[in-house]
Amino acid sequence: MRHSRHSRISSKYRFVFVAAALSASVVLGTQATAQARDAAPAGDSSAPLYQPEMVRALAASLGVDERTATDRLDRQDAQQKRLAELRAGGLVDDGAFFDASGDLTVNAENRADAARFERAGLDARLPARGESTLDRIKARLDASAAKSAPAGVVAWSVDLAADQVVVKVNSDRSAPAKAFLAAAAKHGSAVRIVRGEEKLAPQAAIYPGSKMTINNTTGWCSVGYGARDRSGNQYLVTAGHCVANLPTLRYDGTAFAKGTKTRYALGTRSVDMGIASVNSGHSITTSVGTWGNTNPIAVRGSSRAASGASLCKSGATTGWTCGTVGSYNVSVTYVDLNGGPDTVVTGLATSSVCTEGGDSGGAYISGNQAQGMTSGGPTNQRCTGGVNSRGSSYFQPLDDTLAHYGLTLNTN
């Protein structure tokens, strides 16, 4: 079952808004006493960098042992810090991504810069195009879609590793889709068309007994992250479609938050981010639940993980599932299951994390860094393998949302 705010991309593919019951990912403060605390106190030098639940989930997802999973997280963290230091020192790059083995590759602008990246222990290459050129191409396609939602075109995004813009297509029968693909063809080999994709819809669900209900209906979303403004007012950061009509949000029948702002509107070019003010007496905990594991994952910050990095998500429907980050700055066409207009949503990120209807708004986390909230995924996708479930999903990056609304993430 899906939320009434689904959008569609074409008759075959559908993103599902993953709006669900309160996600165990981040639990309301009223339930905090039921949550286990961190394995070791803050500041304890003997405390592990990653909590065992995160390592076990990642190991299962990758099909490796826990030592290998920990080593991968360590390497990812070290490589991203090294790149950040080089950037702070004035060295310019044109994008970076993790490959399948967990090595960070940096797009250098010239041979001299490539040599500097390599001397710092990072892989480097001289791409034919690079992120800046691909972003410009993708922006032109966004402009084309703004004229009329290209029904049948599932998504378009920058693939840094392939050095191309990838356009996923379900059907090219509609006039807007034909016009969009004609615009894409003008960019030659810089754009790759992938056909036979499943249509997408926002992943909101309508289930009896949902935990975070919307306006006393059976529509529900997963809880995302807690944040505060400069005055200390508390907010729930969520997917925009979960608060599209600024609803009252309820947990166990009790109102705990009220939709305040959203950038999602059916039939209008949108960004799937929104916030809800948290009522006095309630709070969002600073740990992400793992659905069946002992301890929640403490949230330490919101540093964006590079493309290819490992991450997991917590959602009320599918629980704890893991995968890797795909691309950022992704645009999709959501279909409306009630016959309403298509909605183009921009600014998303892709992942290989499996989600289903009801996971919308749920928390994505990489290591101990919060990444975003579930937005959508293929409608017919089923996550039957637990943490090992294979699939795909789209999430709204948290850092973009915090910056847009001027909020600070609540951390553990």
pLDDT at 207: 23
pLDDT-derived band at 273 (thresholds 50, 70, 90) equals very high
**pLDDT confidence band for 8 (50 / 70 / 90):** very low
Distance in angstroms (rounded) separating the CA atoms of residues 20 and 315 = 7
User: Mean per-residue pLDDT for 373-390?
Assistant: 87
The per-residue pLDDT for 47 is 53
User: 22 pLDDT band (50/70/90 cuts)?
Assistant: very low
Q: Quick one: pLDDT at residue 197?
A: 73
* Mean pLDDT, all residues of the chain: 83
Give me the pLDDT at residue 12, please: 29
Tell me, yes or no, if 252 is annotated catalytic.
no
pLDDT digits (tens, 9 = 90+) for 319-353: 889 999 999 999 999 887 777 888 999 999 999 99
Catalytic residue among 4, 241, 307, 392: 241
Determine the Cα–Cα distance for residues 42 and 150; give it in Å rounded to an integer: 50
Q: What is the structure's pLDDT at 70?
A: 92
pLDDT bucket at 94, cuts 50 / 70 / 90: very high
Query: Mind listing the pLDDT tens digit for each residue in 275-325?
Result: 999 998 888 889 888 877 557 888 999 999 999 999 999 998 898 899 999
* pLDDT recorded at residue 80: 95
pLDDT at 202: 59
> In this model, does residue 210 exceed pLDDT 70?
no
Position 117 scores a pLDDT of: 98
Q: Is the pLDDT of residue 392 over 60?
A: yes
Please report the pLDDT score of residue 285 as a whole number.
Answer: 87
46 is catalytic: no
Tens digits of per-residue pLDDT, 112-132? 999 999 999 999 999 999 999
Instruction: Provide mean pLDDT across the span 18-39.
Output: 31
3-state secondary structure the chain: CCCCCCCCCCCCEEECCCECCCCCCEEEHHHHHHCCCCCCCCCCCCCCCCCHHHHHHHHHHHCCCHHHHHHHHHHHHHHHHHHHHHHHCCCCEEEEEECCCCCEEEEECCHHHHHHHHHCCCEEECCCCCHHHHHHHHHHHHHHHHHCCCCCEEEEEEECCCCEEEEEECCCCCHHHHHHHHHHHCCHHHEEEEECCCEEEECCEECCCCCEEECCCCEECCCCEEEECCCCCEEEEECHHHHCCCCEEEECCEEEEEEEEECCCCCCCEECCEEEEECCCCCEEEEECCCCCCCCEECCECCCCCECCEEEEEECCCEEEEEEECCCCEEEEECCCCCCCCEEEEEEEEECCCCCCCCCECEEEECCEEEEEEEEEECCCCCCCHHHCCCCEEEEEHHHHHHHHCCEECCC
Residue 91: pLDDT band with limits 50, 70, 90: very high
pLDDT at 5: 35
Catalytic residue among 272, 336, 342, 400: 272
Q: Which of 210, 331, 360, 366 is catalytic?
A: 360
More confident residue, 217 or 132: 132
What is the per-residue pLDDT across 32-65, written as a single tens digit (0 to 9) for each?
222 223 333 344 445 567 878 788 888 888 888 9
pLDDT tens string 242-261? 999 999 998 777 888 999 99
Per-residue model confidence (pLDDT) at position 90: 96
Could you tell me the pLDDT band of residue 149, with boundaries at 50, 70 and 90? confident
Choose the weakest-confidence range: 128-142, 173-187, 372-386: 372-386
What pLDDT sits at residue 214? 78
Report the share of the chain in percent with pLDDT over 70: 84
Rounded percentage of the chain residues whose pLDDT exceeds 90: 59
Contact 23, 226 (CB under 8 A): no
pLDDT at 68: 92
* pLDDT over 60 (residue 30): no
Active site residue 272: yes
